Amino acid sequence: MTLLPYAINTLSTAVVYALFALAIVFAYRTSRILLFCVGEIGVMSAYILSAALQWTGSSTAGGIALAVAATILFDTAIGVVLFLVLGLEKQEDSFTGTAITIALAIFFAGCMSVIWGGRVEQLPFPNGTISLLGASFSIVSFISIAIGAVVILAILALFYNTPIGVELQALANNRELAILNGIPVNSRMLTVWIAASIASGLAGVLSGAISSVSIEGSAVGFSGLVAAIIGGLTSPGGAIIGAMLLAVGENTISLFFDVRYSVVVPVGLLVALLAVRPYGLSARVERIART
């Protein structure tokens, strides 16, 4: 494998991990709850998109638009469920909230087993190749990188440069002070959970497009969790860096050794990082002191 195909494979993997990681980071920043069910949400979204494409017809622009809309609607509904189950007005114990997300992951996996069984599906996306500098690349990889990069940049821009993003940062720093300043906490929390669900859904769809859609694919969500922890759990930029490091490590192992050995990369990086920098690469420890 030459350098360019290696870079394309690494970037396509990194955008998937980054989307999962961003969903986890934004949920954790505002609620201190670790979202363990991102992988299951992603795979369910991919299955929903596949079913919607088959029903509406993937050969027409209108059919594709309807299928995408149905998937976004599904992810929005999941976000509402997460808000109702994990809303801070009802659930202030972050440990219990995290345990609930593990239970939701098991529940979602059970639902997929009942509905789709062990079926493995291929999303009906373009499967051709593009030749560049003497190497061939999958069209899907290019599309995944482009879509993922645009969405990631849009998320960061909205978070750091819009009034809603500023309010979310204030909510993450001090919930009580945000309430006193008139920030609509419940509606902003609903926004966070819906955004996290949609980001997870998109990551699952891109992952399914690159490889295939299966229940076992929900394990990719664990890599997103590791990337978020590597980045520091509260830093969107750190999550993206963590995703890149994870993708580089996995693809490097696959390149020089065997793809089966790449599964040890997330655990190895996590253990090494926690031993050296327990708070992640961002080293951001949020403390609030009364003055």
Domain boundaries, the chain: 3-123+139-276
At residue 284, the pLDDT reads 53
Tokens of 38: 């991102």
At residue 177, the pLDDT reads 79
At residue 122, the pLDDT reads 85
Tokens of 171: 């909510």
At residue 179, the pLDDT reads 77
Burial of 40 (0-12, 13-18, 19+ CB in 10 A): buried
d(C-alpha 107, C-alpha 103), whole Å:
6
At residue 289, the pLDDT reads 42
Residues of the chain with pLDDT under 70: 1-2, 57-59, 88-93, 126-136, 258-259, 261, 278-291
Identify the bridge partners of residue 136 per DSSP, sorted by sequence position: 131
Q: What single-letter amino acid sits at 130?
A: I
At residue 278, the pLDDT reads 65
Q: Please give the model's pTM, rounded to 2 decimal places.
A: 0.88
Q: Please list the alpha-helical segments (H only) found in the chain.
A: 3-31, 38-56, 61-86, 94-116, 139-161, 163-173, 175-180, 185-210, 220-231, 236-256, 264-276
What is the CATH code for 3-123+139-276? 1.10.3470
At residue 2, the pLDDT reads 67
